[in-house]
């Protein structure tokens, strides 16, 4: 053990293979606050107000509040599904303020009077072609509504190497009634350069 001072700076240096501090007032039970062994510090308990840790390996952690910029999680278990996830996709490009609706089609399916509708429904298949004049990535969605209720949706994301294609999806109405059943198809895109054409709507009624 060495002590030295030059009048401005003082130091205590200990040369040992292992160093520890033991509470002298607790002779019955020896409690060691920390141990220095082979260049590592072992602590039973620590209270740290502010810490900058480059790499941490924590076996069991209880965290009241956490702010994580980027996380890689292999398995996530959330009790009671208590998590809020954004469900609405919006374009990343800030120059595109809103989606633009390029196709709106209303079609009516007539169910004959007296038809047995028990356990049956209306299967609607929608397909449309689209091309992107700009050749850049874009996004397109389509949905079928009956009144205000959405009964079917489809979405497609295009990339530079796939500027055109066909989207096809199905919607099923299990609440059909005798008479006219009116549906609305709307197609939206996030870029004005996307052209939609040749929309085909097929309706198959299951009646008895």
pLDDT in tens, 124-154: 777 666 666 655 566 677 788 888 888 877 7
User: How many residues are listed for the chain in this entry?
Assistant: 208
Domains of the chain and any CATH numbers? 1-48 (no CATH), 100-205 (2.60.120.1340)
Residue 119's pLDDT is what? Answer: 56
pLDDT in tens, 31-58: 677 788 887 888 878 888 888 888 888 8
Most confident of 16-25, 69-78, 139-148, 195-204: 139-148
User: pLDDT grade, residue 9 (50/70/90)?
Assistant: confident
Cα 80 → chain centroid:
17
**pTM of the shown model:** 0.43
Beta-bridged to residue 154, according to DSSP, are 142
CB burial string 67-78: b at 16+ within 10 A, e below: eeeeeeeeeeee
pLDDT in tens, 66-105: 777 777 777 666 665 555 443 333 334 444 444 566 667 7
């Amino acid at each position: 053990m060495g002590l030295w001072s030059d009048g401005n700076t003082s130091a205590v240096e200990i040369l040992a293979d292992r160093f520890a501090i033991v509470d002298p007032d607790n002779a019955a039970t020896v409690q060691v606050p920390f141990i220095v062994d082979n260049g590592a510090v072992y602590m039973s308990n620590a209270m740290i107000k502010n810490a900058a840790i480059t790499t941490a390996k924590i076996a069991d952690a209880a965290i009241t509040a956490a702010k994580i910029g980027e996380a890689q999680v292999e398995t996530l278990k959330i009790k009671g599904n208590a998590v809020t996830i954004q469900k609405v996709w919006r374009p990343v490009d800030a120059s595109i303020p809103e989606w633009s609706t390029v196709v709106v089609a209303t079609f009516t399916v007539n169910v004959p009077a007296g038809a047995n509708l028990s356990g049956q429904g209306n299967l609607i298949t929608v397909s449309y072609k689209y091309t992107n004049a700009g050749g850049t990535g874009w996004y397109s969605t389509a949905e079928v509504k009956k009144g205000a209720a959405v009964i079917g949706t489809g979405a497609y994301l295009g990339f530079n190497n796939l500027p055109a294609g066909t989207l096809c999806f199905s919607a099923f109405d299990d609440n059909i009634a005798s008479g006219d059943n009116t549906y609305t198809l709307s197609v939206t895109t996030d870029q004005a350069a996307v052209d939609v054409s040749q929309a085909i709507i097929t309706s198959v009624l299951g009646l008895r």
